[in-house]
């Protein structure tokens, strides 16, 4: 029972130690070059001390709360839009064929390309950032849900019809539980994309958030704080991805059978 946990912890420790070692070697390489000596504050020790200081004075909590709030709002909107759209194009074959080309066109537009339009369309910077996150997150959810619906055995739907189930009952009691794992897998993928998009999106003009703090540290030439923010973004993103993976496993048919 404990052997997989011990193995996981051991492998994780080896991997993180290797990463810290590479980081330390790179910082030593920078310090040996007079032209790059200013970047030596990005070494692991300095970055960890800066991260601890930001955690102690609540600065990290403030920026983290602002970013997580935007991610949560964008993902919530994307989840609703993606679930409804995915169900519709999964259940209605004609609609899937009609929407294929326009959806592919929109999907291939970088979410960051919407920045100028978002700034014009929304009254607040927060609204613009949430729109960009939604634009990044919606497509993985749409295609995960629609693909899951199309994989359902049509005979099961026919059986539900024979038992007198309404369309709403079929969706609520059969389609949604059967596609839950794919929905959460899509949400996990959407979360990863949104987290990558968040940092450049927060350069729009807000005065809080991890992206803002990263840019502020760069402008102030505080390289230890800059490295600390990069580290914080990676750690928080890893924790969020782990939580999303737990949801996927919770709804896995293989895990619950």
Write down the pLDDT at residue 29. Answer: 75
Q: How many CA atoms lie within 13 A of 198 on its CB side?
A: 32
DSSP state letter for 160 = H
8 A C-beta contact, residue 89 and residue 139: no
Q: Give the pLDDT score at 13.
A: 84
pLDDT of residue 1: 58
User: So what's the pLDDT on residue 218?
Assistant: 86
**What pLDDT, on the 0 to 100 scale, is given for residue 257?**
42
> What pLDDT was estimated at residue 256?
43
pLDDT at res. 5: 64
HSE-up (13 A, CA, CB side) for residue 101: 2
Region class of 110: left (phi > 0), else alpha (psi between -120 and 50), else beta: beta
Q: Compute mean pLDDT per 10 residues along the chain, 257 residues long, and list them.
A: 70 83 78 69 84 91 94 95 92 88 92 90 91 94 90 73 71 78 89 92 85 89 89 92 86 53
Angle formed by the axes of helices 93-107 and 125-150, nearest 10° = 140
Contact present, 48 and 228 (Cβ < 8 Å) = yes
Does the predicted model carry a pTM greater than 0.85? no
Q: pLDDT tens digits for 163-210?
A: 666 777 777 777 788 788 888 889 999 999 999 999 889 987 788 899
Are the beta carbons of 188 and 248 closer than 8 angstroms? yes
Residue 19: the pLDDT is 83
């Amino acid at each position: 029972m404990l052997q997989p946990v011990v193995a996981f912890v051991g492998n994780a420790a080896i991997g993180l130690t290797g990463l810290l070692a590479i980081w330390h070697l790179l910082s030593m390489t920078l310090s040996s070059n007079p032209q790059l000596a200013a970047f030596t504050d990005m070494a692991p020790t300095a970055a960890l001390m800066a991260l601890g200081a930001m955690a102690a004075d609540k600065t990290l909590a403030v920026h983290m709360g602002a970013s997580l709030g935007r991610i949560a709002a964008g993902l919530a909107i994307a989840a609703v839009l993606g679930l409804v759209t995915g169900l519709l194009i999964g259940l209605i074959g004609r609609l899937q064929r009609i929407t294929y080309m326009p959806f592919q066109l929109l999907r291939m537009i970088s979410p960051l390309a919407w920045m100028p339009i978002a700034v014009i369309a929304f009254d607040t910077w927060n609204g613009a950032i949430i729109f960009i996150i939604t634009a990044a997150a919606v497509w993985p959810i749409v295609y995960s849900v629609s693909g899951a619906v199309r994989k359902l055995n049509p005979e099961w739907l026919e059986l539900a019809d024979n038992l007198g189930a309404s369309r709403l009952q079929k969706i609520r009691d059969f389609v949604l539980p059967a596609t839950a794992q794919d929905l959460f897998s899509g949400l996990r993928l959407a979360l990863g994309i949104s987290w990558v998009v968040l940092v450049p999106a927060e350069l729009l003009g807000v005065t809080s958030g991890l992206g803002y703090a990263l840019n502020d540290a760069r402008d102030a030439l505080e390289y230890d704080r800059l490295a600390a923010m990069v580290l914080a973004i990676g750690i928080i993103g890893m924790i969020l991805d782990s939580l999303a993976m737990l949801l996927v496993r919770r709804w896995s048919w293989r895990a619950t059978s």
